[in-house]
Amino acid sequence: MKPEDLDNLAKHFFEKCPTEARNFFHQILDKLEKIEEKLSELEDNQTK
């Protein structure tokens, strides 16, 4: 998914969804960011 797609999706949730859905969406994004960080660490370790 492109960054601009994520931005559009986030904007949609902020404008249209109830607070609970927004909070759940943020939790998902936070978990995805942590996964990306761990993947980056693994990739960095493999290149060394």
List, as one string, the DSSP characters of the chain. --HHHHHHHHHHHHHHS-HHHHHHHHHHHHHHHHHHHHHHHHHHHHH-
Q: How far apart are the first and last CA of the chain?
A: 29
- Sequence spans of domains, the chain: 3-47
Distance CA 17, CA 37 (A): 28
| Alpha-carbon gap, residue 25 to 28, rounded angstroms | 5
Residue 1 — very low, low, confident or very high, per pLDDT cuts 50/70/90?
low
Q: How many CA atoms lie within 13 A of 21 on its CB side?
A: 10
pLDDT digits (tens, 9 = 90+) for 3-39: 888 888 878 877 777 777 778 888 999 999 999 999 9
Give pLDDT, residue 36. Answer: 95
With 90 as the cut, is the pLDDT of residue 48 above it? Answer: no
